[in-house]
Amino acid sequence: MCCESKRRFLLLYATQKGQAKAIAEEIWQQAGAHGLEADMHCISEMDKYNLETEKDPVVIVISTTGTGEPPDTARKFVKKIQDKTLPPDHFAHLQYGLLGLGDSEYMFFCNGGRTVDRRLQELGAQHFYDTGLADDCVGLELVVDPWIDGLWLALKEALQLQKEGMNNAVDAVSSSLSTAPHAVHELNLISEVQNLKLEDEAARGSDVLSQKLDDINLVAPARDTEPSLIHSVPPVSQSALNIPALPPEYIEVQFQDTQGENPHLSSLISEGTTFEVPVTKAVQLTREDAIKTALLLELDIADTAFEYQPGDAFCVICPNNVSEVEELLHILGLSEKGDDFVCVSVKQGTKKKGASRPQHIPERSTLKFILTWCLEIRAIPKKAFLRALVECTSNVGEKRRLQELCSRQGASDYTRFIRDSNVCLLDLLHAFPSCKPSLSLLIEHLPKLQTRFYSVSSSNLYQPGSLCFVFNVVEFPAGPSRPVSRKGVCTGWLAELVAPLLHPSENTLDTKGERFSTEKISIFPRPNNAFHLPADPSVPFIMVGPGTGISPFIGFLQHRQKLREQHTDWEFGETWLFFGCRHQDRDYLFKQVHYLTSILCFLENGTLTHLKVCFSRDTSTAEAARPKYVQDVLRLCAKEVARVLLKERGYFYVCGDKKHMADDVSDAIVDILSMEMEADRLEAMKILAMLREAKRYLQDVWS
Ligand code: FAD
C-alpha cells in the first residue's frame, strides 16, 4: 500500500479549449503502462489537492489564452500563488515538471506556463524535469511527444530519490537538468531509451510493425515518387514503424426508441449565461469583387440582460455545416438514424482509467444534435485518432498509410499532409474509403466544438439595445488533400443564415418593405477584457485596425461621440485611427454604411481627430512610394505617435490579424520610440514592454 502510494504523482491541468486537458489525459493514460499512478485534477479543483503539503512529484500542463494570460481555469490558482506575502521557501518541498502550451504567433508565447513556472521557482519549488514549451504554430506534438516520453524516467528518478529519503538529491537532478545543452541531451537520451523500450515490448502488445514494402498493397501506384496524404515513399514506406499503443475504447452509444427534446444549447456552455438573440440587420461592407467578404450583423439584445462595453468580445455558439453532418451520417451508415435519440455512456469494463462521458456530450440527445452542436468535426485528427482509425480500415494499403501517419517515422508526413494541410475527419474518410469508424470512436476522439469569439463593433450608449459585430467570411479553397472548397464553420454558417437579409426576396420584406429576419443566434459574453477606452476621456489614444480590425474602434468612436454630445463641458483627448485595406473602392470598411455613422462622419464631427488610411493593392495610384500598410503610415507619423505615447501618456490599441500585422506594428513602434527618444532598440523595446505592462499598449488580435 505504502509502495503503491510512493508511485503516485499529482497531475494538474489548466485548460482553456481542452488541449491541456487532452494532453493531461494522455499522460494519465500512459502512466499506468509505466507502473505509475497519476492523481489528475483540473487546477481549479483546489479542494482536491494541496500543494502546500504535497510530497509526491507534481506535473502541470497549462495552456495560454488571450494576450498571454493563464487559462480561466487557472485564475484562482495563479492569484493564490502570486500572493506577495508568501515566503520564498513556501514551496521548497515541491518538485514539479511543467508543460506549457502556446502559439508563437501570439505575443507572450506560452506566458500562462511561464508565469506559473517563474512563480513556483520564486517560491522555492524545484524542477524534477525540464520545462517544455509546446508551440501550436508548428505543432504541439513536436515538443509534447518527446516531453511525455522523457517524463517517465524523470518521474521514476524523482520518486526513487524521494523513496530513498534523499531530500537534497532533488537539487542534484534539478541542477543537472537546468543547463540547457545537458538538458537537451538528457531528453534525447530518454527518448531513445523509450524507443528501445517500445521495441522490447512489441511482444506485449505495443505496436511496433515491421512490414516490408512488398507485403502491402499501397494506395497509390508505385511509380509515384512524391509522398501525399495517401501515398508514402522510402524511407517511411520501407520502415519498421513505432506507432502509439491503441487507446482503449470507453464510450458506448445506445439508440433509443423514445421521443423527446434535445438539450438547450446553454447546457453545452460552462462559461456563464447564454442569450438567444435575433439577428436584426446584416450589411455587406465589401464590394462583390473584394477578395474577402466582410459582413456586419446587428443583434437585438434589448430584451436580455446581456451587457457589454465597447472593446469587449463575445462568443457565438455555432453549429457544424448541415451537409457535412449529413455526409458523415452517410459514411457511418446512419443516415436514417440522425433524428433518433442516443444515450451516451461509459463502456462497462473499459480499460481506460477513470473514463467518463466527455462533458460536451449530453447523456441523451439525437445523433444529429451531437454531430451538429457538440463535436468539432473539422478538427485536425490527432495521432491517437489515426491510430484508432487503423483498426476500422479494411484495405491493407490504407491501413499501412494510416499507421505511417501516426508513427514516429511518419512524423513529418503527419505534419505536412494532415496538420499543415488542415485535413479533417471527412477528408480522411474520403481519402481512405475503406475506413469505417463507429460513432462511439468519433465521440471518443473528436474535440468539443468551440464557440467563436467576435469583437463588439458598437456602443451601448449609441445604439441602446443592440450589438453589432463584423467578420470576414473565411474561405478554404480545395487542394490536393481536400476535394471541395469550404467556408469557416462559424462565418460560413452566419453568412448562410443572414443571406435572406442581404438578398431580400418578397418573403423577407415586411409590410413597409423593410427587411426582417426571424433568425436567432446564441451568444454569451467574454469576461475580463482589458481592451477598453481609457477611463479618463481627456487622455489621447491611437487606434490601429486594418481590415476587420477596425471593428471595436467603431464602438469606441460611437461611444466617444455620445459622450461628447452628453458632456459638452468635458475635455476630450485626441483620437487617431490608422486603417488599411486592399482597395479603396472595394474593402474600405465603414467608409459609408447607410444606417450607421461612417468614419468620415466621425472625422467631420470631430469625434475622430486624425484618420490615416492606406491601400495595399491600389498600385495604379500616381504616388508609387505611397505607404501600403498601417505600420508604414505609423512610421510617417512618428513624431505624433511618440508625443501621444510618451509626453501625453496616451493609449495605443491594435486590433486584427495577428499573423501579418500585429508584430509589424509593434516593430514600427519600437523604431519610432528608438528614433524619437534617440535610444537604441533595446531601450525602445523596454519602453514598449513597460507600456504593455501599464496596459497602455493593448492588443486584440486573432488569426
Ligand atoms: P474556422 O472553421 O474555425 O477556421 C478558422 C481557422 O482554422 C483558419 O484561419 C485556419 O487557421 C484554420 N482552418 C480550418 N480549416 C481549414 C482548412 N480547411 N484550410 C485551411 N485552414 C483551415 N474574427 C472576425 O472576423 N471579426 C472579429 O471581430 C473577431 N474578433 C475576435 C476576437 C477574439 C478575442 C478572437 C480570439 C478571435 C476573433 N475573431 C474575429 C476570429 C473568430 O473568432 C474566428 O476564428 C473566425 O471568424 C473564423 O471562424 P470560423 O469558424 O468561420 O473558421
Within a domain: 595: yes
431 within 8 A of 393, measured Cβ to Cβ: no
Nearest to 332 by CA among 362, 294, 377, 374: 377
9-56 confidence digits (pLDDT tens): 999 999 887 889 989 988 988 888 888 999 999 999 999 999 999 999
Structure-block grid coordinates of residue 700: 486584440
Q: What does the pLDDT read at residue 106? A: 73
Could you tell me the CA-to-CA distances from 658 to 239, 399, 588, 664 in Å, in that order? 40, 39, 20, 9
3-class secondary-structure state, position 13: strand
Three-state secondary structure readout of 419-477: HCCCCCHHHHHHHCCCECCCHHHHHHHCCECCCEEEEECCCCCCCCCEEEEEEECCEEC
User: Using only C-alpha atoms, what is the Rg of the chain?
Assistant: 28
150 lines ligand 1 (CB under 6 A): no
Name the burial class of residue 27, with classes exposed (0-12), middle (13-18) and buried (19+) by CB atoms within 10 angstroms of its CB. buried
Q: What does the pLDDT read at residue 527? A: 65
Quick one: DSSP state of residue 65?
B
Within a domain: 321: no
Residue 320 CA, ligand 1 centroid: distance in Å: 14
Q: Which of ligand 1's atoms lies nearest the C-alpha of 469?
A: 28
Within a domain: 478: no
The dihedrals phi and psi of 519, each to the nearest 5 degrees, come to -70, 140
Query: What total number of domains does the chain contain?
Result: 2
pLDDT along the chain (703 residues), means of 10: 64 89 87 88 94 95 86 92 93 95 82 94 94 86 88 91 56 38 34 33 35 34 72 91 86 87 87 91 92 95 94 96 96 93 91 82 94 96 94 96 94 91 94 95 94 95 95 90 88 96 65 68 84 96 96 96 96 97 90 77 95 85 74 95 96 91 94 94 94 94 85
Rounded to whole angstroms, how far apart are CA atoms 401 and 404? 5
Name the burial class of residue 389, with classes exposed (0-12), middle (13-18) and buried (19+) by CB atoms within 10 angstroms of its CB. buried
Q: Which residue has the cell 523604431?
A: 671
486 lines ligand 1 (CB under 6 A): yes
Q: Which residue has the cell 503527419?
A: 414
Alpha helices in 269-374 (DSSP H): 322-332, 367-369
The dihedrals phi and psi of 33, each to the nearest 5 degrees, come to -65, -20
Smallest CA separation from ligand 1 atom 7, residue: 488
Within a domain: 34: yes
195 lines ligand 1 (CB under 6 A): no
CATH code: domain of residue 124? 3.40.50.360
Q: What does the pLDDT read at residue 191? A: 32
Within a domain: 179: no
Within a domain: 117: yes
CATH code: domain of residue 661? 3.40.50.80
Q: What does the pLDDT read at residue 484? A: 84
Rounded to whole angstroms, how far apart are CA atoms 367 and 690? 52
Rounded to whole angstroms, how far apart are CA atoms 210 and 233? 16
Q: Which of ligand 1's atoms lies nearest the C-alpha of 551?
A: 28
490 lines ligand 1 (CB under 6 A): yes
Q: What does the pLDDT read at residue 350? A: 86
User: What is the amino acid identity at position 299?
Assistant: L
Nearest to 689 by CA among 86, 108, 270: 108
- Pairing assessment for the beta strands 95-102 and 58-62 based on DSSP bridges: parallel
3-class secondary-structure state, position 322: helix
Q: Which of 122, 140, 164 is the last residue of a domain?
A: 164
Q: What does the pLDDT read at residue 167? A: 46
Quick one: DSSP state of residue 64?
-
Structure-block grid coordinates of residue 367: 445523433
- Residues 6 or more apart whose CB falls under 8 angstroms from that of 685 comprise 670
467 within 8 A of 301, measured Cβ to Cβ: yes
Q: Which of 100, 129, 164 is the last residue of a domain?
A: 164
Mutational test site, ligand 1, from 17, 299, 454, 473, max ligand atoms within 8 Å of CB: 454
Q: What does the pLDDT read at residue 160? A: 84
Q: Which of 164, 184, 211 is the last residue of a domain?
A: 164
- Which structural domain, as residue segments, surrounds residue 688? 541-701
Within a domain: 350: no
Rounded to whole angstroms, how far apart are CA atoms 500 and 288? 16
**Long-range contacts at 212-221 (CB < 8 A, ≥ 24 apart):** 212/238, 213/237, 213/238, 216/396, 216/397, 216/400, 217/395, 217/396, 217/397, 218/397, 218/400, 218/401, 219/395, 219/397, 219/398, 219/401, 219/432
Within a domain: 611: yes
552-562 confidence digits (pLDDT tens): 999 999 999 99
Mutational test site, ligand 1, from 474, 529, 661, 701, max ligand atoms within 8 Å of CB: 474
